[in-house]
Amino acid sequence: MDGFNDFDNPQVAKLPLHLKQYIVQQHYERYTPIDHAVWRYVMRQNYAWLKDVAHYPYIPGLKKAGLSIEHIPNMQDVNDALGKIGWGAVTVDGFIPPAAFMEYQAYRVLVIAADIRQLNHIAYTPAPDIIHESAGHAPIIAEPDYHKYLSYFGSIGAKAMFSAQDYDLYEAIRALSILKEMPDCDPEELQAAEDLLKYRQENMGEPSEMALLSRLHWWTVEYGLIGTLENPKIYGAGLLSSIGESAGCMKPEVAKLPYTIDAVNYSYDITKPQPQLFVTPDFENLIDVLETFANTMSFRRGGSYGLQKAIDSKNTCTAVYSSGLQVSGTFAAFIEDKGLPVFIRTTGPSALAYNNRQLHRHGKDYHKNGFSSPVGKLSGAVKPLEDFGDEDLQLYGITIYSAAKLQFESGVIVQGHVRSLIRNAGKLQLISFSDCTVTDAKGNVLFDPSWGMYDMAVGERIISVYCGAADKDAFEEIAYTPATTTYHPDYDQQTVDLQKLYGRVREIREHKGSVEHLGSIWQRLIVHHPNDWLCALEILEILKEQDQQHSLEGTIVEFLTSKAAEQPGLQKLITDGLNLVKNVTAKPVA
């Protein structure tokens, strides 16, 4: 990938190509002074509130994650810090598909949305942003038991079966989150997006493995509590990054339930505060619950159950033979005998792999029309065909350039001239035939010699079935691309002027300008930007710390108090900000 920056982080460097395609540059220079002020306000509020209600590693975890209260984090700083605990981080464009998100976790790489929420969504945004991802996820990763859970969850989630409805829901969520971050969004367009999301949520059908797994992810990684039901602490990133919900979630009306496998039965709505939250006694319990769910999944159950799930998903899936051979493609059908699959068939481009590496000359260009093969033991054989040595093969007439007839216990017969054998790790995995005919127990033709070479997979059982290709980089040249892109505003002159005022206030706070200039900044702010409140709060903070210009200080307090009273939507934000200024409780972490 041209121009790929791995930040000298080993975990980022290990990412496969199909995941690298989601990465975007952070473009740190595009963050405006208002963006930095939004970050600083949220982080100061978090520091003041979360030191009492967050799981104890959160506060020291900020520093371990390379985060500062004062400014938006730079990905290089974050990677330098996370690299010390075996993690990395990259920036992406908003929501990415759930399967990809899970796989990043498996590689121990945090996915961080490059954008930051607008000022009018400072308390909460349904869109992923750099506050949610870095200030929410990154600090808690310093806890060893937690980051073990996070990476293990990713490895499980990367193999979860997903459906077309899952992708439709993902696109609806992504589209709505983008609209909600647009300052001048058409109300009718927003309502249509909300209606579409609601419709898709209500018409998902039977939830897929990915949908169920996403619920466990939501109630732990995003909205999890830890401790006792009577005295829980916050560790979920959605709560840690929302100054609104981190306070509201502790109210009695938000039910607190023990975290068990029963959480998989609770759906969620990203657009509303959660009516209940789940409390785990420790992080080990998270792994226990995940393990319980994983035991129900296709990748562990395999067999007919897994193959049917693959057919239902209508996505690229992989079936793994007991020999280790991996067959990837869109599964169309299978023949079953005594509850076990005895013949499988894919349709369209398919590929064969071993140990997640595509076999030479067995990619989807070669198997462009699908792949089919029997499963099971040869009739009368003492051991599985995959364990046959040279003498066993000769006994059954399976020698290169010789005619062979293989009859399986299921009644499937493969008859043709052997052309090649493939072994890996001591297991026979593939036998290729020319002039081959394959029939089932009833004599129906499953493969005709006129169709070309027949490559027969070898394996007694299908031990695993999961979504996605075995060798994703070979199979998926282009990653799934979302239908929408995040909104990046073009600022008008008035907004640019306001950004400059924020920038001048920052310079003064960083001792790069004179405090005496705050009076003229205030005058310009109140005349040209009377609806702004955060810049006024930042001016007030500096005046309070410097113990200067008491008259101006009183004027700004009166202005903010009046605005809080007149605008209920700003009341809590302004009141909390005034309390911070009054008590001076939030000190920079880094």
Cα separation of 271 and 552, whole Å?
40
Smallest CA-to-CA distance from 463 within 386, 517, 393 is with 386
Element (H, E) at 500: helix 493-509
pLDDT at 259 over 50: yes
Asked if residue 297 is part of any domain, the answer here is no
Which residues are paired to 494 by β-bridges?
Answer: none
Which residues are paired to 421 by β-bridges?
Answer: 431
Cα separation of 155 and 107, whole Å?
8
Residue ending a domain, choose from 475, 504, 521: 475
Smallest CA-to-CA distance from 44 within 590, 585, 571 is with 585
How many structural domains comprise the chain? 3
Cα separation of 430 and 412, whole Å?
17
- Strand pairing category for 255-258 and 276-280: parallel
* 132 assigned ligand-binding residue: yes
Asked if residue 354 is part of any domain, the answer here is yes
State residue 587's pLDDT score: 46
Instruction: Work out the mean pLDDT of the chain and round it to a whole number.
Output: 91
Asked if residue 324 is part of any domain, the answer here is yes
Q: Percent of the chain having pLDDT more than 70?
A: 96
User: At 586, is the pLDDT very low, low, confident or very high (cuts 50, 70, 90)?
Assistant: very low
pLDDT at 392 over 50: yes
CATH of the domain at 235: 1.10.800.10
Asked if residue 351 is part of any domain, the answer here is yes
Asked if residue 589 is part of any domain, the answer here is no
Assess whether 219 and 99 both reside in one domain. yes
Mean pLDDT computed over 14-27: 92
Q: Residue 211 has which token pair? A: 């949908």
Asked if residue 303 is part of any domain, the answer here is no
Mean pLDDT computed over 189-212: 85
Assess whether 90 and 174 both reside in one domain. yes
Q: Residue 273 has which token pair? A: 């505060």
Assess whether 440 and 570 both reside in one domain. no
3-state secondary structure of 290: helix
State residue 482's pLDDT score: 64
* 18 assigned ligand-binding residue: no
Domain membership of residue 24 as a residue range: 10-291
State residue 478's pLDDT score: 54
Cα separation of 393 and 396, whole Å?
5
Cα separation of 199 and 197, whole Å?
5
Assess whether 324 and 387 both reside in one domain. yes
Mean pLDDT computed over 226-242: 91
* 137 assigned ligand-binding residue: yes
User: At 128, is the pLDDT very low, low, confident or very high (cuts 50, 70, 90)?
Assistant: confident
Asked if residue 414 is part of any domain, the answer here is yes
- Top pLDDT among 266 and 273 is at 266
Assess whether 100 and 152 both reside in one domain. yes
pLDDT at 309 over 80: yes
3-state secondary structure of 436: strand
User: At 487, is the pLDDT very low, low, confident or very high (cuts 50, 70, 90)?
Assistant: low
Assess whether 57 and 20 both reside in one domain. yes
* Cβ atoms of 240 and 234 closer than 8 Å: yes
Assess whether 414 and 542 both reside in one domain. no
Cα separation of 32 and 395, whole Å?
76
Residue ending a domain, choose from 442, 475, 508: 475
User: At 105, is the pLDDT very low, low, confident or very high (cuts 50, 70, 90)?
Assistant: very high
pLDDT digits (tens, 9 = 90+) for 24-47: 999 999 999 999 999 999 989 888
Cα separation of 389 and 409, whole Å?
20
User: At 167, is the pLDDT very low, low, confident or very high (cuts 50, 70, 90)?
Assistant: confident
pLDDT at 343 over 50: yes
State residue 132's pLDDT score: 84
Assess whether 322 and 224 both reside in one domain. no
Assess whether 361 and 238 both reside in one domain. no
Cα separation of 59 and 175, whole Å?
33
**pTM for this one?**
0.85
CA distances from 90 to 119, 138, 144, 365, 452 (A): 24, 12, 21, 33, 46
User: At 589, is the pLDDT very low, low, confident or very high (cuts 50, 70, 90)?
Assistant: very low
- Top pLDDT among 58 and 316 is at 316
Cα separation of 117 and 136, whole Å?
14
Assess whether 504 and 463 both reside in one domain. no
At position 194, the amino acid (one-letter code) is E
User: At 480, is the pLDDT very low, low, confident or very high (cuts 50, 70, 90)?
Assistant: low
Assess whether 15 and 75 both reside in one domain. yes
Q: How far apart are the first and last CA of the chain?
A: 33
Cα separation of 535 and 523, whole Å?
12
pLDDT digits (tens, 9 = 90+) for 422-478: 999 999 999 999 999 999 999 999 999 999 999 999 999 999 999 999 999 999 765
Cα separation of 537 and 560, whole Å?
8
Assess whether 275 and 194 both reside in one domain. yes
pLDDT digits (tens, 9 = 90+) for 512-571: 889 999 999 999 999 999 999 999 999 999 999 888 789 999 999 999 999 999 999 999
* Residue 408 DSSP label: B
* Cβ atoms of 107 and 14 closer than 8 Å: yes
Asked if residue 326 is part of any domain, the answer here is yes
